[in-house]
């Protein structure tokens, strides 16, 4: 019997990142910590992260990607794009030439699969699925001066595009370089990233990528149960897996977890991230940061949001059609 069977959530039908050269936290530490430090003073939810211990939502859901099971079929890409009405990168899902280039999630697709050739075993490349890791204490949410990000009890990190004013602090603050910016819409700024299929989770369904995976490389469930499953596999097959669950502790831990048969640095993961959340690295000097560096970005953001919502109100009052609902609105609110 599949060892995932007992780890699927109720209602499951039993169906079954950062790309490129590994980088150091030092590479983007200054800008990331500046964004975090500047915005953490502004909002109570962010101050809560900085002021006391927080270990995420204990009953939250998550995903476990097992790279030893991924065959690079890209079924997850197709399912994600179809469910979220994303255009994708224009390539055929059967086109293996896409693996000649290391890709990243963009404004056109929440997730991509890359191939990594392993020098010690050149005949057996490893395929890696990349998307938002849904940090337990997300630095994108801490860095956002307008509170466009939120962390849900279910585990998803969500983004409200109606509040965004295009500062892109979240892109700088993310240790995994995940949020993508829609540069095709300069007057309607929008960050694009995986939402963990939040509407499907709320309805008791599997995320689209987990449901579509034919090999069981992507497993959905309670994060606590996924950790047990990952440890069970590592202990049972020490010759198959390295002894590391990526995401268990990195930057305060993530809701997306990974296990692998090769070191994670060979798959483009940042491997020297601190175990503490990014906000922990700046809370010691927050009180010394000048108010001008923290208040003005938020002030401009709030003015922008107010003007934008005012204009939308006047447009609706004149009989124009209201703005399209967000992905979350379409999936959850009835």
**3-class secondary structure for 9-22?**
CCCCCCCCCCCCCC
- Cα angle 116, 117, 123 (rounded to 5 degrees) comes to 135
Average pLDDT over residues 212-240: 98
Find the range with the poorest average confidence among 29-38, 50-59, 172-181, 324-333.
324-333
| Tokens describing residue 169 | 């602090």
For strands 61-66 and 256-259, give the pairing. Answer: parallel
Q: Measure the CA–CA gap between 23 and 253, rounded to whole angstroms.
A: 18
Cβ–Cβ < 8 Å for 216, 68? no
**SS3 for 328?**
helix
- State the greatest distance between any 2 C-alpha atoms of the chain, in Å, as a whole number: 67
Q: Measure the CA–CA gap between 206 and 79, rounded to whole angstroms.
A: 12
Q: Give me the residue label for tokens 């509407």.
A: 199
Neighbours of 322 (CB within 10 A): 9
Nearest C-alpha neighbor of 328 from the set 167, 178, 208, 196: 196
Query: What domains are there in the chain, each with its CATH number?
Result: 11-287 (3.30.70.20)
**SS3 for 229?**
helix
Higher per-residue pLDDT: 296 or 248: 248
| Tokens describing residue 68 | 């030893």
1 pLDDT band, cuts 50/70/90, is: very low
Strand partners, 81: none
Q: Measure the CA–CA gap between 246 and 223, rounded to whole angstroms.
A: 13
Cβ–Cβ < 8 Å for 261, 240? yes
Taking 60 as the threshold, does the pLDDT of residue 42 lie above it? no
Taking 70 as the threshold, does the pLDDT of residue 174 lie above it? yes
30 pLDDT band, cuts 50/70/90, is: very low
| Tokens describing residue 206 | 């599997």
27 pLDDT band, cuts 50/70/90, is: very low
Cβ–Cβ < 8 Å for 137, 252? yes
CB within 8 Å of 294: residues ≥ 6 apart: 37, 38, 39, 41, 42
Taking 80 as the threshold, does the pLDDT of residue 26 lie above it? no
- pTM of the entire predicted model: 0.73
Q: Measure the CA–CA gap between 294 and 284, rounded to whole angstroms.
A: 16
Which regions of the chain does DSSP assign to beta strands (E)? Answer: 61-66, 112-116, 126-130, 149-151, 157-159, 180-181, 191-192, 218-222, 256-259
């Amino acid at each position: 019997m599949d060892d995932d069977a007992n780890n699927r959530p109720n209602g499951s039908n039993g169906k079954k990142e950062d790309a490129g050269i590994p980088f150091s936290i030092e590479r983007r530490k200054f800008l990331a910590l500046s964004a975090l430090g500047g915005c953490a003073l502004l909002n109570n939810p962010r101050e809560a992260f900085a002021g006391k211990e927080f270990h995420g939502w204990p009953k939250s859901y998550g995903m476990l990607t097992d790279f030893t099971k991924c065959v690079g079929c890209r079924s997850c890409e197709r399912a994600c794009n179809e469910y979220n009405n994303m255009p994708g990168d224009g390539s055929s899902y059967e086109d293996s030439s896409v693996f000649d280039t290391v890709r990243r999630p963009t404004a056109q697709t929440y997730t991509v699969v890359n191939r990594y050739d392993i020098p010690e075993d050149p005949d057996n490349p490893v395929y890696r699925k990349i998307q938002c890791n849904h940090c337990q204490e997300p630095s994108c949410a801490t860095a956002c001066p307008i509170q466009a990000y939120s962390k849900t009890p279910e585990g998803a990190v969500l983004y409200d595009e109606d509040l965004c004013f295009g500062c892109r602090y979240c892109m700088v603050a993310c240790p995994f370089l995940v949020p993508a910016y829609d540069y095709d819409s300069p007057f309607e700024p929008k960050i694009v990233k995986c939402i963990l299929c939040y509407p499907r989770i709320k309805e008791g369904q599997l995320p689209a990528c987990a449901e579509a995976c034919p090999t069981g490389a992507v497993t959905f469930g309670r994060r606590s149960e996924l950790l047990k499953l990952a440890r069970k596999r590592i202990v049972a097959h020490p010759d198959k897996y390295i002894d590391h669950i990526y995401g268990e502790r990195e930057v305060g831990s993530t809701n997306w977890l990974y296990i692998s048969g090769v070191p994670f640095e060979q798959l483009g993961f940042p491997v020297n991230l601190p175990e503490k959340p990014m906000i922990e690295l700046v809370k010691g000097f927050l009180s010394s940061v000048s108010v001008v560096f923290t208040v003005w970005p938020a002030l401009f953001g709030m003015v922008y949001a107010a003007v934008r919502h005012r204009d939308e109100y006047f447009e609706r009052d004149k009989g124009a059609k209201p703005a399209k609902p967000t992905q979350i609105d379409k999936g959850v609110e009835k």
